[in-house]
Amino acid sequence: MKILSEVRPMLAQYGYKKSGNSFWKSENGFYKLINFQKGTYGNYFFINVGLHPNGLSILCTKQLCLLERPKESQCVLRERAEQISIKAGSFKKEIGYMEEIETLKGLLFSVMPDMEAWLSKWGSYRTILSADLPLNIQIIFSSSYHMEKRVLVA
């Protein structure tokens, strides 16, 4: 998506690097991702946000893989921008129409602080382990947290 080159400087201010239709960074032991998913029918897109602990293996074709930069669909925690920021709702009619760069810049300017706050809140083992998450998600993060502590101590 060519339009993403136009918003690259704005996302770079938050420390993100561009890769394809995504922007990513690694911070505080977590991989953080903002992905622009093109719509199937028409000239629109969705903004997806993903969070994944660094060093946590995922299942790839019936085997465990350690991916340095997983895709948004492979991240343990994922949300759409409109689920994170109520401000995205004010762009409902225009959201994502790719030929309108000013609309996209306005949307990102509005929602980036909320998306960063969400990524900071959930990009913390303390928050995740104290949250009321399903047990299987807590076990994933707990084992990853203990693995990271061993690496830091060594």
Give per-residue pLDDT as tens, 86-112.
887 766 554 555 567 787 888 888 899
**Is the separation of the CB atoms in 37 and 44 below 8 Å?**
no
Q: State how far Cα 138 lies from the chain centre.
A: 19
| Residue 89 belongs to a domain | yes
Three-class SS of residue 27?
Answer: strand
| Residue 84 belongs to a domain | yes
| Rounded Cα–Cα distance for residues 71 and 27 (Å) | 17
Residues constituting the chain: 154
**Quick one: average pLDDT of 18-29?**
92
| Residue 40 belongs to a domain | yes
- Is pLDDT at 68 greater than 60 in this prediction? yes
Which domain does 116 fall in, by range?
3-123
State residue 92's pLDDT score.
Answer: 58
| Residue 102 belongs to a domain | yes
Determine the residue type at 137: I
Specify the pTM: 0.76
For the record, the structure tokens of 42 come out as 């028409």
Total number of domains constituting the chain:
1
| Residue 65 belongs to a domain | yes
Q: Which residue has the higher pLDDT, 50 or 57?
A: 50
**Quick one: average pLDDT of 68-91?**
82
